[in-house]
């Protein structure tokens, strides 16, 4: 009988330093899984170094390596979407090129899938390889997201997960162009199992996520799966209005009892600046949602493919 096909989807962006270590280790781990055949879908997300050339060279010698070249850098979420669309496997696993997620865990994921689970997520039980600030900011993001969003994301769970073909087909049906993949993975649901692992250090190179990119990524996640940030300002407006009514009543009573006094400049300017700041923050949050509506209304594709390479063959 024909074995099920496992597709490993790997976005690459300026990762030429990791490629020489990536394929030997990953392929050794995949070849040790007797229950499946495999393909590796490598998405070059507009790399400016020799990443694409090295990927093409690897694909020339191995028909199981499929290289997809995007027309420019669209970002990891778009590259991951491209890989999911290109993958042909009965099961699909998103994977990072830096090898911080151990490929040896894939065998355990496949075993869980064979037990009947549609999704097998890998939870980072130990993130000692990350900096303190990265661990702190990640924990704060997960807590805030799950407090504000209707769709809950498992804490310390990234893109590294196994998904059955049914789950991938469900993801491909989702039409939005501004994609927060961790939220989409959780939104589709399906029967899910969790395994734990220790996150390793990068094998080479540096992370491509700056503090600014991580901040924008967090905003994308917080506004993708709920409107509570908008509703909060309605509640805040009610609280401020009630406080103003109570304070106005206090002033009337004090004036009747003690007579008229001259209000202080400091209290007036403080109130004006406070309310002005609150209004600007509220407008900013509304602007985030309006911006999402504007971008979605354009109906632009999530990514564009320039070429595909497999076993020395190039297809546009």
pLDDT at 299: 78
Report for 137-146, 174-183, 299-308: range of highest mean pLDDT: 299-308
220 shares its domain with 261: no
Confidence of residue 6 (pLDDT cuts 50, 70, 90): very high
10 Å CB burial of residue 22 (0-12, 13-18, 19+) is buried
36 shares its domain with 123: yes
Residue 161: pLDDT over 90:
no
C-alpha dihedral sign at 178, 180, 185, 188: negative
How many C-beta neighbours within 10 Å does residue 123 have?
16
51 shares its domain with 132: yes
Residue 266: pLDDT over 80:
no
Average pLDDT of span 103-119: 88
The model's pLDDT over 38-94, given as tens digits with 9 standing for 90+, comes to 899 999 988 888 888 888 888 887 888 899 999 888 888 888 889 999 888 899 999
Which residue did the predictor score with more confidence, 201 or 60? 60
Query: For the whole model, what pTM was predicted?
Result: 0.68
Give the mean pLDDT of the chain: 77
Q: Are 58 and 10 in contact (CB under 8 A)?
A: no
Q: Are 287 and 35 in contact (CB under 8 A)?
A: no
196 shares its domain with 233: no
148 shares its domain with 233: no
Average pLDDT of span 5-25: 88
91 shares its domain with 62: yes
110 shares its domain with 247: no
Residue 98: which CATH number?
Answer: 3.90.550.10
101 shares its domain with 155: yes
| Residues 15, 206: Cα–Cα separation, whole Å | 9
Closest by Cα among 195, 4, 197 to 109: 195
Which residue did the predictor score with more confidence, 114 or 138? 114
* Range with the poorest average pLDDT among 27-41, 213-227, 237-251: 213-227
Residue 97: pLDDT over 80:
yes
Number of domains in the chain: 2
218 shares its domain with 293: no
Closest by Cα among 107, 110, 83 to 95: 83
Residue 199: pLDDT over 90:
no
Mention every residue, 6+ apart, whose C-beta is less than 8 A from residue 311. Answer: 59, 60, 62, 63, 65
Q: Which residue range(s) make up the domain with 307? A: 5-225+301-315
Residue 15: pLDDT over 80:
yes
| Residues 204, 25: Cα–Cα separation, whole Å | 14
Helix (H, G, I), strand (E, B) or coil at 44: strand
Average pLDDT of span 258-275: 63
305 shares its domain with 266: no
């Amino acid at each position: 009988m024909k074995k099920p096909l496992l597709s490993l989807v790997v976005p690459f962006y300026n990762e030429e330093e990791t490629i020489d270590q990536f394929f030997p280790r990953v392929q050794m781990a995949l070849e040790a899984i007797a229950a499946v055949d495999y393909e590796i879908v490598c998405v070059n997300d507009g790399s400016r170094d020799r990443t694409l050339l090295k990927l093409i060279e690897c694909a020339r010698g191995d028909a199981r390596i499929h290289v997809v070249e995007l027309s420019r850098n669209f970002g990891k979420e778009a590259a991951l979407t491209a890989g999911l669309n290109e993958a042909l496997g009965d099961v699909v696993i998103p994977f990072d090129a830096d090898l911080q997620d151990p490929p040896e865990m894939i065998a355990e994921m496949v075993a869980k899938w064979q037990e009947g689970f549609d999704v097998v997520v890998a939870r980072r039980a130990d993130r000692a390889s990350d900096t303190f600030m990265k661990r702190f900011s990640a924990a704060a993001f997960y807590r805030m997201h799950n407090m504000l969003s209707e769709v809950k994301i498992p804490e310390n769970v990234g893109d590294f997960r196994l998904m059955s073909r049914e789950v991938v087909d469900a993801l491909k049906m989702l039409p939005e162009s501004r994609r927060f993949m961790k939220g989409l993975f959780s939104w589709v649901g399906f029967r899910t199992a969790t395994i734990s692992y220790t996150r390793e250090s990068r094998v080479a190179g540096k992370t491509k996520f700056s503090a600014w990119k991580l901040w924008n990524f967090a905003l994308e996640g917080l506004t993708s799966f709920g409107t509570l940030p908008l509703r909060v300002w309605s509640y805040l407006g009610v609280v401020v209005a009630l406080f103003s009514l109570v304070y106005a009543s206090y002033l009337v009573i004090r004036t009747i009892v003690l007579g008229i006094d001259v209000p202080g400049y400091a209290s007036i300017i403080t109130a004006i600046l406070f309310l002005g700041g609150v209004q600007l923050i509220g407008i900013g949050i509304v602007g985030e949602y309006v911006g999402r509506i504007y971008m979605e209304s354009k109906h632009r594709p999530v990514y564009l493919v320039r070429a595909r390479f497999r076993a020395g063959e190039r297809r546009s």
